[in-house]
Structure 1
Amino acid sequence: MTDVVPRARATARDRLGVVVLALPALLTSMDLSVLFLASPWISADLGPTSGQLLWAMDIYGFMMAGLLITMGTVGDRIGRRKLLLIGALAFGGASLLAAFATSAEMLIVARALLGVAGATLAPSTLSLIRGMFDDEDQRRTAVGVWTGAFLGGVTIGPIVGGLLLEHFWWGSVFLINVPVMAVLLIAAPIVVDESRDPDPGRFDVLDAALSLGAVLPVVHGVMTIAEDGVRWTSVAGIAVGTGLAAVFVARQLRSASPMIDMRLFARPAFSAAVLSNGVIVFASAGMGLLAATYIQTVLGHAPFVAALWMLPTVAGTVVGVAIASRAARTVSSTLLVPLGLLISASGFVAFCLVTPDSHIGVLITAYSALTLGVGVTATLVTSLVLAAAPPEKAGAASALAEATGEFGGALGIAVLGTLAGTIYRNRTDTDTLGHAVAAARELPDEAADLLIERAFDAYTSGFTAAAVVGAVLLTASAVAAGPLLRAGATPRSTGTRRQPQ
């Protein structure tokens, strides 16, 4: 008879380690959204085109998404904590470059470097947590803390940005990264043990290049559509990226040491978790940029006031994470994941009620429903993805979970931003809402009022269209996720307590 080895319970040091690891998760996701409230100031200071502004917002998330799988695999090989510390140094340096950017091009380059550095941080944090907790309930709680930090960062980003913009220049939103990275460099070696894959196999440079090459042409295609409309070059870029993705998948299926075990996608529950994670972040991040701009420009609130009004949306995320962590002990994910998606969809439906004359409370109520559903969904699907992979492959599994979220978030900003921007430009004579506000200052009162009214109505139309798309996507995902999750549950982890490597 085989003895059953009991799962080790986490120590107080492990729990402190989760808090330390939540810091980079918070910052890497904050940098997806920290520029939302700063975009009018960046437009005034650096004068970017609408396409350049979207590049500055989006290139960070896309670079992270393209490199996460590679960096997760690197962490499995060289040590996840070591990669985390390397990333902390790089993230701090890129933050300084972004803070003092003097042109739109320089800001875009700095944001790209931040994305590279963020790709080293993100999978390291989640994979280290995967190895610290063998008990499933404790691991789900720890993942909930990490998820709350990661999702909260997307919501907190505009708030922190608003508070800083009230007193400092727009570059200050990046300087807050530097002291936090310093704390991480000091604390992580003390409270987090090193871990790695003892038998990682051969690292394939071509696969690493393909994982990035599959993302960047798609990015270029989407972003050029945002700036110049649909052209053959943008369509070709998307086609090339899709083709490279197909080659990457084919090589992973044949590889003896794949970056991603593609066989996991044969499990319906795993596929449902990955799909739900990508869709929920796609919708929420895309709407976040539009909502932050709407609060400041259309509803006319200063950054500090806008930041205060957005605090309930942070509470929505925290409450959603807490509900998911507790309810998952007794309620099946086959019910909770679709429920979370539908809650978020209801928030998008409520966004459709917002008009230029609405009280800000209408928008915040809708946004809070959105973040509540995100908190519920993301906590559960992240746990499902992690539980599907063996502990020694935690870096790659963590990277996959985060890659879908980061790519979904960046793509959401690009697609929903493009949709809203296209509708806006078709109904006005200005490139962006910020340009319309600036132009109105140079006109007589009557002409200025007419221009502003037309611009606000046009932006509201784009805002509402994006909300409808988000509601439809989330509802469709909820309908699809239920049967997939019921078709087969992700196996519970049976790993033993990890040993420091």
Structure 2
Amino acid sequence: MKSPAKPARRWLALTVLLLPVLLTSMDISILYLATPAIAADLAPSASELLWILDAYGFLLAGLLILMGNLGDRIGRRRLLLAGAVVFGVASLLAAYAPTPPALIAARALMGVGGATLMPSTLSLIRNMFDDPAERTRAIGLWTACFAGGSALGPVVGGVLLESFAWGSVFLINVPVVVLLLVVARSLLPEYRHAQPERLDLGSVALSFAAILPLVWAVKTAAEERAVTVPVAVAAAAGAAAATAFAVRQRRLRTPLVEVRLFANRRFTGAVVAGALAMFSLVGLMLYNSQYLQLVLGRSPLVAALWLLPVLAVVAVTAATAPLVAARLGPAAVFGAGAGLAAIGMLVVGGTPVHDGLLRMIVGSVLVGAGISPLMTLATDVVVAAVDPERSGSASALSETANELGAATGIAVLGSIGAAVYRSSIMDSLPADVPAGAADAVAANLGTAVEVADRLPSGVAEPLLALARQAFVDGLGAAALTGAAILALLAMVAPILLRRGRPLRR
């Protein structure tokens, strides 16, 4: 099917497509400012709190490849609308979840719905915009919404939490989903593969067998700070399934994933860069919102307002990235962007307990300014690599890497911070803290604040000072880890982008 005839209609349709992009990316980070309220209301353990944050991203990442291929076969608009319904229902369930396991399950169901939305939007853009220059601009706006949505999540969450309970961060999804369902059918064209082949169920099974054990192994190893026998077995099983998956794809006429694309260094560099960029950006957003609230004592609304500069920079740099790349070349943008983000991580890593507001915001702005243009160009390289009929699966591959990067960033950087926090607390816990409260204090900073509120001031004040210093120590360790990864990316990505063959448009 051809692109919409009128340019104005194409751009109006793009506006509709940006709604689910904002929703799905916001829901990666919107819980950050709500974690203190969730900790107070549901009393999750440290592991449960990380799973509440992670379940959405991991299910999203695990299902993207399947859903992208399903959209190629049944129609991308149809899959988009079906996924929106699932996403909306799951948001309602999350808003009224009575226990941590119920909230984790609802977040997982949201990930199922979100997995249908992301590849559908990107593949529709690939079909709607035939002109490479127009497509790059459209993808720039898509990336601005995707990366900007991750930065916008805490802002929206802060505004809502100022007046409403933590469930409001999920209820906000429902009216947007309703609006999408109303307008999408009339504005969005339908696309599907002209002669779709049967979905290879063996490939689907292998994709799950590869992604889920590897995700579990990474998360568990980060939480336990050790590679145990179960972790090693899970990682080996996931790696074996991934190898079998890759071999199977090379033998299929219509594979789930075009593994041959990875022979092109530009494509590989773009996928890896997108994943590592999201790893660092989302991992950072986990910390700065908690720092503003729980260390500096800002209200959710004030914390949200301080995050607005990060959102603005992300949106502007994503939209202008194609112009900069046209002048300097993609390789230069990849290298400079990753390097700038690494510097921002180092700035954040030195944030002190007191008077660290300006340092945190400046560092976060530098991270956003470096990562946002990198994400825009990475997405454009991937989407331009295949014919329009296969754009759903290519989009899903790109988004799988990005979402795995985001979810792994939360798991790894979050677990590094949690481990340092707990170690610092247990090494220096005041003797007059009640024995029953020690484990709760060591779980996370939000729980420590709740415990301190119930203790006499002579005990509460030194306990809070210790907990806040421990949190900042964890923040520094996580930020330095992110800086090292981004510095490595700054060196490797330009090499891959320069040496790879130009991808056809």
Aligned to 1:4: none
Q: Give the drift of 1:10.
A: 6.2
Structure 2 CA distance for aligned equivalents of residues 472 and 229 of structure 1: 18
One-letter amino acid of the structure 1 residue matched with residue 15 of structure 2:
V
What SS is found at the alignment partner of 1:328? helix
**Does the alignment pair 1:154 with 2:150?**
yes
Aligned to 2:95: 99
Structure 1 CA distance for aligned equivalents of residues 482 and 472 of structure 2: 15
- Taking a change above 3 Å as real, the CA distance of residues 487 and 9 of structure 1, as seen in their structure-2 partners, is farther
Matches within 5 A, 1:17-28: 17-28=13-24
* TM-score using structure 2 length: 0.94
Q: Give the drift of 1:226.
A: 5.2
Aligned to 1:261: 258
Matches within 5 A, 1:258-407: 258-407=255-404
Q: Give the drift of 1:342.
A: 1.2
Aligned to 1:448: 460
One-letter amino acid of the structure 2 residue matched with residue 188 of structure 1:
A
One-letter amino acid of the structure 2 residue matched with residue 265 of structure 1:
F
1:343 and 1:370 in contact (8 A); partners too: yes
- CA deviation string 1:197-218 (max 9, x = no partner): 1133231112112212222222
**Does the alignment pair 1:209 with 2:205?**
yes
Aligned to 1:466: 478
One-letter amino acid of the structure 2 residue matched with residue 357 of structure 1:
H
One-letter amino acid of the structure 2 residue matched with residue 283 of structure 1:
S
1:339 and 1:478 in contact (8 A); partners too: yes
Structure 2 CA distance for aligned equivalents of residues 179 and 187 of structure 1: 12
Moved more, 484-493 or 259-268: 484-493
**Does the alignment pair 1:432 with 2:428?**
no
Aligned to 2:432: none
Q: 1:39 aligns with which of 35, 40, 43?
A: 35
Q: Give the drift of 1:344.
A: 1.1
Structure 1 CA distance for aligned equivalents of residues 49 and 98 of structure 2: 14
Q: 2:45 aligns with which of 38, 46, 49?
A: 49
Moved more, 223-232 or 108-117: 223-232
- Count of residue correspondences: 488
- Taking a change above 3 Å as real, the CA distance of residues 482 and 228 of structure 1, as seen in their structure-2 partners, is closer
- CA deviation string 1:99-157 (max 9, x = no partner): 11000000000000000110011100000000011111110000011111111110110
- Taking a change above 3 Å as real, the CA distance of residues 10 and 366 of structure 1, as seen in their structure-2 partners, is farther
**Does the alignment pair 1:186 with 2:182?**
yes
1:387 and 1:490 in contact (8 A); partners too: no
- CA deviation string 1:157-178 (max 9, x = no partner): 0111111111111011001111
Structure 2 CA distance for aligned equivalents of residues 441 and 192 of structure 1: 52
2:21 and 2:118 in contact (8 A); partners too: yes
- Taking a change above 3 Å as real, the CA distance of residues 9 and 471 of structure 1, as seen in their structure-2 partners, is farther
Aligned to 2:116: 120
What SS is found at the alignment partner of 1:215? helix
Gaps of 5+ in 1: 1-6, 494-501
Structure 2 CA distance for aligned equivalents of residues 287 and 27 of structure 1: 20
Structure 1 CA distance for aligned equivalents of residues 323 and 26 of structure 2: 26
- Taking a change above 3 Å as real, the CA distance of residues 303 and 125 of structure 1, as seen in their structure-2 partners, is same
One-letter amino acid of the structure 1 residue matched with residue 502 of structure 2:
T
Structure 1 CA distance for aligned equivalents of residues 225 and 487 of structure 2: 28
What SS is found at the alignment partner of 2:197? coil
2:223 and 2:416 in contact (8 A); partners too: no
* TM-score using structure 1 length: 0.95
Moved more, 214-223 or 265-274: 214-223
**Does the alignment pair 1:69 with 2:65?**
yes
Structure 1 CA distance for aligned equivalents of residues 153 and 4 of structure 2: 36
- Taking a change above 3 Å as real, the CA distance of residues 121 and 211 of structure 1, as seen in their structure-2 partners, is same
Q: Give the drift of 1:321.
A: 0.9
One-letter amino acid of the structure 1 residue matched with residue 140 of structure 2:
G
Structure 1 CA distance for aligned equivalents of residues 157 and 231 of structure 2: 32
One-letter amino acid of the structure 2 residue matched with residue 414 of structure 1:
A
- Taking a change above 3 Å as real, the CA distance of residues 10 and 133 of structure 1, as seen in their structure-2 partners, is farther
Moved more, 227-236 or 412-421: 227-236
Q: 2:497 aligns with which of 485, 492, 501?
A: 485
Structure 2 CA distance for aligned equivalents of residues 450 and 141 of structure 1: 53
Aligned to 1:129: 125
2:27 and 2:153 in contact (8 A); partners too: yes
Aligned to 1:234: 231
Q: Give the drift of 1:345.
A: 1.1
Structure 2 CA distance for aligned equivalents of residues 49 and 210 of structure 1: 32
Structure 1 CA distance for aligned equivalents of residues 141 and 159 of structure 2: 24
Q: Give the drift of 1:228.
A: 4.9
Aligned to 2:165: 169
One-letter amino acid of the structure 2 residue matched with residue 69 of structure 1:
I
Q: Give the drift of 1:235.
A: 3.1
Structure 2 CA distance for aligned equivalents of residues 10 and 214 of structure 1: 43
Structure 2 CA distance for aligned equivalents of residues 38 and 339 of structure 1: 34
**Does the alignment pair 1:84 with 2:96?**
no
Q: Give the drift of 1:488.
A: 2.1
1:55 and 1:223 in contact (8 A); partners too: no
Structure 1 CA distance for aligned equivalents of residues 418 and 232 of structure 2: 19
- Taking a change above 3 Å as real, the CA distance of residues 10 and 368 of structure 1, as seen in their structure-2 partners, is farther
* Identical aligned residues as a percent: 45
2:385 and 2:504 in contact (8 A); partners too: yes
